[in-house]
Amino acid sequence: MKSRIFIPLILLLCISCVGMAQKFQLPEGTKFQKVNFQLINNLIVMPLEVNGAKLNFILDSGVSKPILFNLSDQDSIELRNVSEITINGLGAGEPIKALNSQGNHFRIKKITNNNQQLFVVLDRDINFSPTLGIPVHGIIGFDL
C-alpha cells in the first residue's frame, strides 16, 4: 500500500521541481514580444541586457548555455557567483579556462530570466566582431 502512494508522490515532486526552474519569461498577460535583430552572414545577432549591460549575442540553437567571449576594456559587466572552470569543445584545440557565473539577470525587451547561468571565455583571441562588422559579445542558444 505504501509503495502505491510513494511512487505518485515522487513523480509529483519531480514534476513540481522542474516547474520551479528559472527560464526566460514574458510578463503575465503578454503572449508575445517582437525582438529586433540583425541578420549578418546568415547569423542572427540580437541585443540583450546581462545584469544591466547592453551586449550583442549571436543566436545559435546548438549552444546549451550563453557564452561571453569578447569583453573589451570598455565593456563593464557585473558577474555573480563566479567560479573558474575548464571548457572543452571549442574546436580541436586544447581546453581553455573560463568562468562559470550563476544567477545572472538576462533581459530582451520585456522577456526576462532572473537566474541564468553564463560562461565567460577568457581567451581574447575568440572575436567575431571584425568578421561581422559590429561588436559581438557572445552566443546564446538553447536557454532562450
Q: How far is CA 6 from CA 10, 11, 19, 68, 106, in A?
A: 6, 9, 20, 44, 38
Q: Please, what CATH class does the domain formed by 25-140 belong to? A: mainly beta
Instruction: Output the nine-digit C-alpha cell for 94.
Output: 586544447
Per-residue pLDDT tens digits for 51-106? 999 999 999 988 888 988 876 655 578 888 889 988 776 666 778 888 999 999 99
